[in-house]
Amino acid sequence: MTKWLRENLWRHITGIIMCVFALFPLYLVVITSFNESGSLKITSFIPTDISFANYKLLFTDERIPYMTWMKNSLVIASFVAVVSVVVGAASAFAFSRLKFKGKKAGIQILLLIQMFPAILALSAVYVIMERVYTFAPGLGLGTQAGLILIYLGGAMGVNIWLLKGFVDSIPTELDEAAKIDGATPVQTYWLIFIPLAAPVLAVVALLSFIGTFNEFILARLFLVDMESRTVAVGLQQFIGGQFSENWGPFAAGSIIASIPIVIIFLSLQRYIISGLTAGSVKG
């Protein structure tokens, strides 16, 4: 017992402290969502007065188009996730398996771009989209389509490199066997690469969806109209806008907004657990 206490007790204590540290913000958000006063002040560890007024406010107050914000976030995040997977997978396969002029320079440029913080391009992107609005109002500043283009441009480099690393780990013998059987590069892509890449494609889709759904800075800068805002931008008005530090509805809206992410994560869990490199060669 003395040896166990000496060698393992500190590990258990450290684990408990880290769990409390990680779970306390979530606990605070849940408690605040049921606090009708909208305050972050905790009067007791287990609240006795539980109210659903904050949740009711989100769906009944005409000044708060919460469901519209949720719909905008889901549409934008889903579109970005799907297109990121489709374009990223095709590009990764091309850079890894096909031979074409400018292949090395292209992949190096993608890597070089990722070395610079995205915040550096914020002013340039704003000016570009402002100019785009003059001849293409549907894709310019203040539109969801323009915001989607910006998200896709920022995510392509990371996704292509992540997927390319997976394609490189797939034995080339599979490609050679497919060529012997008369398969074209497109057939090799659809019949060999896509089934084997299911785990990493699920990871890319999940990361793209979560990153886009939770993104705030670009969405706050480009989406001005109240009806076109995402849920992250819309909820910000509760603590910095006309409702001035009303943390109750903000917490309630955050909890509801987390439900789609949890559902998607659980749906893709078996692909994520299977690993990024599982199943490349069997039998």
DSSP string for 167-212: HHHS-HHHHHHHHHTT--HHHHIIIIIHHHTHHHHHHHHHHHHHHH
Q: Which two tokens stand for residue 164?
A: 């390319």
Q: What is the mean pLDDT of residues 48-60?
A: 84
In a domain, 18, yes or no: yes
Which carries the bigger pLDDT value, residue 40 or residue 263? Answer: 263
d(CA 128, CA 1): 68
Q: What is the mean pLDDT of residues 130-149?
A: 86
CA distance 210 to 222: 19
275 neighbors 199 (Cβ within 8 angstroms)? yes
Looking at the structure, tell me whether residues 108 and 8 fall in a common domain. Answer: no
Residues 20, 37, single domain; the answer is yes
Whether 43 and 20 map to the same domain: the answer is: yes
The answer to whether 172 and 131 are in contact (CB under 8 A) is: no
Residues 54 and 73 in one domain: no
Look at residue 279 and tell me if it is in a domain. no
- Residue from 212, 196, 122 nearest 159 by CA: 212
Cα separation, 41 vs 275, in Å, equals: 43
Report yes or no on 33 lying in a domain: yes
72 with 230: CB under 8 angstroms?
Answer: yes
Structural domain containing residue 50: 2-58
* Residue 234 and residue 251 in one domain: yes
What confidence tens digit (pLDDT) does each residue in 154-213 have? 777 788 888 888 888 888 888 888 888 888 888 888 888 888 888 888 888 888 898 899
Summarize the confidence of residues 99-124 as an average pLDDT.
81
Residue 148 lies in a domain: yes
Single residue among 16, 41, 58 that ends a domain in this structure: 58
Hey, is 88 helix, strand or coil? helix
Q: What is the mean pLDDT of residues 272-279?
A: 52
Global model pTM greater than 0.85: no
**274 or 192: which leads in pLDDT:** 192
Does any domain span residue 35?
yes
Q: Does a structural domain hold residue 201?
A: yes
Task: Decide if pLDDT at 21 tops 60.
Answer: yes
Same domain, 167 and 191: yes
Cβ-contact 68, 230 below 8 angstroms: no
Q: Could you give the CA distance from residue 177 to residue 243 in angstroms, rounded to a whole number?
A: 64
Instruction: Of 272, 150, 279, give the one whose Cα is nearest residue 205.
Output: 272
- Domain boundary (58, 76, 100) is at 58
Question: Are 53 and 79 within one domain?
Answer: no
Q: What is the CATH number of the domain that holds 240?
A: 1.10.3720.10
- The identity of residue 185, as a single letter, is P
Q: Please check whether residues 33 and 135 belong to one and the same domain.
A: no
pLDDT per residue over 147-165, tens digit each? 898 888 877 778 888 888 8
61: left (phi over 0), alpha (psi -120 to 50) or beta: beta
CA diameter of the chain: 76
281 in a domain, yes or no? no
Q: Is the pLDDT reported for residue 281 higher than 80?
A: no
Looking at 19, 34, 58, the residue that finishes a domain is: 58
Residues 169 and 264 occupy one common structural domain: yes
How far is the C-alpha of 78 from the C-alpha of 212, rounded, in Å? 9
The total domain count for the chain is: 2
Say if 263 falls within a structural domain: yes
142 plus 234 within the same structural domain: yes
Cα–Cα distance, 233 to 226 (Å, whole number): 9
Same domain for 124 and 32: no
Q: Domain check: are 10 and 136 in the same one?
A: no
pLDDT at 134 exceeding the cut of 70: yes
